[in-house]
């Protein structure tokens, strides 16, 4: 085996190790994205902070309403038919949990509505813009 051949073999082995490392890093990052879901009150505070230009550390959230998530069951005639069940599931996503917060801070009082979205790519809490209450 010539020196040139050995050189190329070593180079290819190094490239494989580098690519394996890069792919492992990407996989770890994706896993952390999919499991890191912020608490709903943190998302609500962030929404109020942006809406009112008020620092988060000056805001106080109070949970005023909480609705648990709702899992829908398909009708009995659709459940055994896999094709119909797939269509039914595509059109009937489960409703996520919902929380409403009363938030006070910077001389402002308001309400924020939050809902949990269970999408596979970006699960987590989404909150509407804070609404000031007088």
Task: Name the strand (E) or helix (H) holding 91.
Answer: helix 82-91
Taking 60 as the threshold, does the pLDDT of residue 25 lie above it?
A: no
Q: Are residues 82 and 122 in the same domain?
A: yes
Q: Are residues 120 and 71 in the same domain?
A: yes
Our measurement of the distance from residue 15's CA atom to the centroid of its chain's CA atoms, rounded to an integer in Å, reads 34
Q: Are residues 52 and 3 in the same domain?
A: no
* Structural domain count, the chain: 2
Q: Are residues 18 and 62 in the same domain?
A: no
Q: How many percent of the chain have pLDDT more than 70?
A: 72
The residue ranking higher by pLDDT, 58 or 28, is 58
Residue-level pLDDT at 49 = 93
Q: Are residues 21 and 44 in the same domain?
A: no
Residue-level pLDDT at 1 = 67
Q: Are residues 85 and 41 in the same domain?
A: yes
Residue-level pLDDT at 104 = 94
Task: Work out the pLDDT band at 31, boundaries 50, 70, 90.
Answer: very low
Domain ranges, residue 49: 37-132
Handedness of CA 106, 65, 118, 129 (dihedral sign): negative
Taking 80 as the threshold, does the pLDDT of residue 22 lie above it?
A: no
Question: Could you please report the per-residue DSSP string of 58-83?
Answer: G-EEEEEEEE--BPPPPPTTTTT-HH
Q: Are residues 55 and 97 in the same domain?
A: yes
What would the pLDDT profile of 70-122 be if each residue is shown by its tens digit?
A: 767 888 998 899 898 888 877 766 667 889 999 999 999 999 999 888 776 77
What would the pLDDT profile of 7-20 be if each residue is shown by its tens digit?
A: 667 756 755 544 54
Task: Work out the pLDDT band at 130, boundaries 50, 70, 90.
Answer: confident
Tokens 């801070």 belong to which residue? 105
Span between the terminal Cα atoms of the chain, in Å = 84
Residues 6 or more apart whose CB falls under 8 angstroms from that of 79 comprise 73, 85
What would the pLDDT profile of 38-56 be if each residue is shown by its tens digit?
A: 788 999 999 999 999 999 9
């Amino acid at each position: 085996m010539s020196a040139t051949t050995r050189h190329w073999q070593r180079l290819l082995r190094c490239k494989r190790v580098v690519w394996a490392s890069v792919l492992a890093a990407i996989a770890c990052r994706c896993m952390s994205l999919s499991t890191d879901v912020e608490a709903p009150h943190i998302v609500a505070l962030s929404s109020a902070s942006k809406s009112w230009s008020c620092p988060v550390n000056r805001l106080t959230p109070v949970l005023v309403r909480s609705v648990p998530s709702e899992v829908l069951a398909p009708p009995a005639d659709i459940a055994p038919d896999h094709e119909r069940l797939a269509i039914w599931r595509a059109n009937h996503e489960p409703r996520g949990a919902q929380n409403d917060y009363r938030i006070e801070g910077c001389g402002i009082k308001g309400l924020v509505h939050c809902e949990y979205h269970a999408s596979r790519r970006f699960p987590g809490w989404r909150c509407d813009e804070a609404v000031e209450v007088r």
